[in-house]
Structure 1
Amino acid sequence: MTVALADLDARLASMGPEELALLEEELRAKLWAKRWNRWTPYPWQVPPEHIETLGWWFQLGGRGTGKTDGCARYMVEHVNGPPCDPRLRGGHRMAIIAPTQGDAVEACVNGPSGLKAHDPRVVLRTTTGGTFARWPSGAEAKLFGAHTPDDVERLRAGGNRCLVWMEEAAAMRRLGAAITHSEMGLRIGPNPHYIASTTPKPRTELIKLTKQADVTVTRGRTRDAIHLPQEQRDKLIAKYAGTRMEAQELDGKLIEEVEGALWTARLLDATRVGAVPDTARLVVAVDPAATSHAESDEMGIIVAGLSRQYVPDLNGTPRQHGYVVDDLSGRMPPIDAARRAVEAYHAHRADAIVAEVNNGGEWIGTVVRQVDPTVNYRTVTASRGKATRGEPVAALFEQRAAHIVSSLPELEEQLTTWVPGDDSPDRLDALVWALTDLMLAPAGNLAAVA
């Protein structure tokens, strides 16, 4: 049946305010249903029928499998369902926790798989109380990071919630603290619970979670993600076929231990400490990338210190212990790497910046001195294989004489997944240089022994 535009105008003109309001509501509902029903989930994006109180739905998936998409869809559906607390405007108070608050904004709200993609009515608001995703009904989700000590404090006072979404949980520097403090606030409504999404990494917290009876895990593989171009999937699978990268990054498998790795998650946990003691010396170690573009290796930048006190090791021998304080690594231009190293040098009152100069790394000294000619800077040159350099440092951990302070997930993943014979990643290399300088070589003479 076709209605002429003039007839339609006449019919609208004849309607009273109540009829027009009802028509507007019906049209809005039909438009919403059309948008909502357009989305077809992958099997692993379908949540369980019931999630226990304080329980989890965890999506483990390879790259491009729509983990964020599935959680965003779930949160929107939660908002549009029964109110968890009818006394609250909108009925829901939720939280989104990501590695950083910026990640929460970009991926979980504004991104192509975020809340706005599923519900355009969502608006982002920043007030003195924090940053929130808000719905017209009054429901809201507060956004948090889990990277710095300040982030943990914000979570500690983050308020009560009915639903917590943890995005890229395995990449959170302070995952354990994020779980602890968010769980304390999960107490709105009859069934407060978690949803989570991540590409798996060998994190102790993640391994424990996936073994809990109240955690439902769904898994997606990149090869099955049909919304990714076939050529892209084929190339990724061909490039990493048969490797740990394929299993973890593409097939979404949680690898607990890598055979032949010098470090294990169990070892790192056994030696982990919560704070840095008084240090006698502290260095910023830099393992520079040979090139600077989007596909370059990372610039490894590790801060480590040597305790002033002599503490017994595993054998009861008093000795100074080494502490890995911070990981500032990442892909960045040379000038940014130099600035970051110099900033860390001053912030931690370090004794030296130690940089490896093999493979074209001589530039780092020139750039560091351009940034600040006053820093104490020295170079190291590798004359032995990486396995030979790494084994004594791994032995320091085995002797319970070296420790990671708090949690450094990107570094820890490299430590627990690198096998001698493979190309060693830059965070790991920078850690080896730092602890070798502090514990295995005379200060200022590292090049002679490395």
Structure 2
Amino acid sequence: MTTLDDLDERLASMSPEELALLEEELRAKVWAKRWGRWQPYPWQVAPEHIETLGWWLQLGGRGTGKTDGCARYMVEHVNGPPCDPRLKGGHRMAIVAPTQGDAVEACVNGPSGLKGHDPRVMLRTTAGGTFARWPSGAEAKLFGAHSPDDVERLRAGGNRCLVWMEEAAAMRRLSEAITHSAMGLRIGSRPHYIASTTPKPRREIRDLVGRDDVHVTRGRTRDAIHLPALMRTKLIAQYAGTRLERQELDGELITDVEGALWSWSLLDATRVGAMPNTARLVVAVDPAATSTDEADEMGIIVAGLSQAYVPDLNRTMRQHGYVLDDLSGRMPPIEAVRRAVQAYHAHRADAIVAEVNNGGEWIGTVVRQVDPTVNYRTVHASRGKATRAEPVAALFEQRAAHIVNSLPTVEEQLATWVPGDDSPDRLDALVWALTDLMLAPAGNLAAVA
């Protein structure tokens, strides 16, 4: 009978090469054992001959296994026929997520990622980038779609046979990610995309759903029977009865919300690709109520006012407002202030503007502690939120305010908030920023000659 001491002795006597071979064999056995146990939902199964369609797009509510389905498909693809027999392993793929960190955590290391389906997958970072690699030599390069640098990396991302777009609707630069990844999708006779996302009615997602070469599968949270019942109940309780229930739970692509001050079509119509030279720029902060509150989001929005006077929809010459960045999130108050101060310096802003009505006086003290050189001023809400937001929405309707590129989370808040509801912090920060730049100061309008 072999004892643990015997095994330890045998392992100690093995060379590094023999240990590496043993580890590879064990990983292969674990993979083979796990592979047959997977019980997919119907929406996690790719359509037959998906490679001839161009795209497989999974739209699903929370907890429906979208990442799991795509990871399974990629592992199956790697272990199928080579797309190019000349390549080591036969496959060169790409994974694009909102950030490269998301690609690592969700698509590779997470419980629904590649390693969960194939423990032989190894994550490697080299001078050429970060890769998920298989023993055969097949690889998937990991990309983000958040910053201009991410877009440049995608532009030079190399040729691929399969691209996985994870949480596509949450990508800040989704349009550019699709454009640049498509340029390199040319290995083999049938290169194609797979994509997984909770649907949001962004223009790019709407366009994909309407295309003939995109096969869409849909999953609902209430049908996700493998999800623990307690978690299903919690998610349903969180969204049931709200306007986001169909989107967040049922995976539907909802359209404009009745009564919302902004519409998706309005945001698309006013969107621009770049910010012109600025006359003024501010970082607006809508803080949590107290300096110890981490439950609420800290709204942090960067916006600028153009130097040039440009006609609006009514042919009135005026300086236009541009929303450049959304740095909001749930974070400790000190981190929120540091993030705002960093943005102040990075964008060479004129001021940090903070709303202090609901106990937000703490933010001025913390700003002075972090950087006493910052130009900081406060604003006080003397009117209701709807009254403050309506003039800013009107700026968009007049085609005088714009979002630069894409800011998915703040756009979703704009397009789904109805006056009377509690307004989210990102929306509030955007309202404060454009109010300070365009509505509070005088003299930024000039009549058309």
* TM-score between the two structures when normalised by the length of structure 1: 0.90
Match of 2:310 in 1: 311
Match of 1:416 in 2: 415
Q: What is the DSSP-based 3-state SS (H/G/I as helix, E as strand, rest coil) of the residue aligned with 1:195? A: strand
The 1-side partners of 2:24 and 2:433 are apart by 65
Q: What is the DSSP-based 3-state SS (H/G/I as helix, E as strand, rest coil) of the residue aligned with 2:222? A: helix
Displacement of 1:239? 3.8
User: Could you say if the C-alpha distance between residues 37 and 201 of structure 1 is closer, same or farther in structure 2, counting changes exceeding 3 Å?
Assistant: same
- Give the conservation status (yes or no) of the 8 Å contact 1:101–1:145: yes
Match of 1:15 in 2: none
Give 1:392-431 correspondences, 5 Å limit.
392-431=391-430
Counterpart code for 2:134: W
Match of 2:133 in 1: 134
The 2-side partners of 1:151 and 1:231 are apart by 38
The 1-side partners of 2:340 and 2:348 are apart by 12
Displacement of 1:273? 1.1
- Give the conservation status (yes or no) of the 8 Å contact 2:24–2:120: no
The 2-side partners of 1:442 and 1:25 are apart by 67
How many residues in Structure 1 have an aligned counterpart in Structure 2?
422
1:221 aligns with 2:216: no
Counterpart code for 2:239: Y
Match of 1:391 in 2: 390
Match of 2:252 in 1: 253
Match of 2:19 in 1: none
Match of 1:159 in 2: 158
User: Could you say if the C-alpha distance between residues 295 and 53 of structure 1 is closer, same or farther in structure 2, counting changes exceeding 3 Å?
Assistant: farther
The 1-side partners of 2:314 and 2:26 are apart by 75
Displacement of 1:385? 1.1
Match of 1:326 in 2: 325
Displacement of 1:34? 2.7
- Give the conservation status (yes or no) of the 8 Å contact 2:291–2:360: no
Give 1:10-409 correspondences, 5 Å limit.
32-53=31-52, 55-291=54-290, 296-409=295-408
Displacement of 1:256? 2.2
Counterpart code for 2:244: M
Q: Unaligned regions of 5+ residues in structure 2, if any?
A: 3-22, 443-449
- Give the conservation status (yes or no) of the 8 Å contact 2:291–2:363: no
The 2-side partners of 1:432 and 1:237 are apart by 31
Give CA deviations for 1:285-316 in whole Å, capped at 9, x if unaligned.
Answer: 00001257796121000111111111111111
User: What is the Cα-based RMSD across aligned positions, in Å?
Assistant: 1.9
Displacement of 1:240? 2.4
The 1-side partners of 2:108 and 2:293 are apart by 25
- Give the conservation status (yes or no) of the 8 Å contact 1:122–1:134: yes
Give CA deviations for 1:340-376 in whole Å, capped at 9, x if unaligned.
Answer: 1111111111111100001111111110111111111
- Give the conservation status (yes or no) of the 8 Å contact 1:54–1:192: no
Displacement of 1:234? 2.1
- Give the conservation status (yes or no) of the 8 Å contact 2:286–2:299: yes
Displacement of 1:53? 4.5
- Select between 149-158 and 405-414 the one with higher mean Cα deviation: 405-414
User: Could you say if the C-alpha distance between residues 136 and 319 of structure 1 is closer, same or farther in structure 2, counting changes exceeding 3 Å?
Assistant: same
- Select between 377-386 and 136-145 the one with higher mean Cα deviation: 377-386
Displacement of 1:26? 11
- Select between 181-190 and 235-244 the one with higher mean Cα deviation: 235-244
The 1-side partners of 2:248 and 2:420 are apart by 21
Match of 1:19 in 2: none
User: Could you say if the C-alpha distance between residues 34 and 321 of structure 1 is closer, same or farther in structure 2, counting changes exceeding 3 Å?
Assistant: same
Counterpart code for 1:378: R
Displacement of 1:223? 1.0
User: Could you say if the C-alpha distance between residues 434 and 294 of structure 1 is closer, same or farther in structure 2, counting changes exceeding 3 Å?
Assistant: closer
Give CA deviations for 1:202-248 in whole Å, capped at 9, x if unaligned.
Answer: 21101110111111111111111112221332233234222122211
Q: Unaligned regions of 5+ residues in structure 1, if any?
A: 6-23, 444-450
Counterpart code for 2:135: P
Displacement of 1:431? 0.4
Counterpart code for 2:193: Y
User: Could you say if the C-alpha distance between residues 118 and 434 of structure 1 is closer, same or farther in structure 2, counting changes exceeding 3 Å?
Assistant: same
The 2-side partners of 1:303 and 1:50 are apart by 46
* TM-score between the two structures when normalised by the length of structure 2: 0.91
The 2-side partners of 1:45 and 1:441 are apart by 51
Displacement of 1:173? 0.3
The 1-side partners of 2:124 and 2:207 are apart by 35
Displacement of 1:419? 1.0
The 2-side partners of 1:126 and 1:26 are apart by 23
The 2-side partners of 1:28 and 1:399 are apart by 61
The 2-side partners of 1:31 and 1:149 are apart by 40
The 2-side partners of 1:368 and 1:29 are apart by 54
Give CA deviations for 1:66-91 in whole Å, capped at 9, x if unaligned.
Answer: 11100000000000000000010100
Displacement of 1:383? 1.4
Counterpart code for 1:301: I
User: Could you say if the C-alpha distance between residues 31 and 134 of structure 1 is closer, same or farther in structure 2, counting changes exceeding 3 Å?
Assistant: closer
User: Could you say if the C-alpha distance between residues 442 and 71 of structure 1 is closer, same or farther in structure 2, counting changes exceeding 3 Å?
Assistant: same
Q: What is the DSSP-based 3-state SS (H/G/I as helix, E as strand, rest coil) of the residue aligned with 1:244? A: coil
Q: Between the two proteins, what is the percent identity of the paired residues?
A: 86
The 2-side partners of 1:344 and 1:291 are apart by 22
- Select between 232-241 and 120-129 the one with higher mean Cα deviation: 232-241
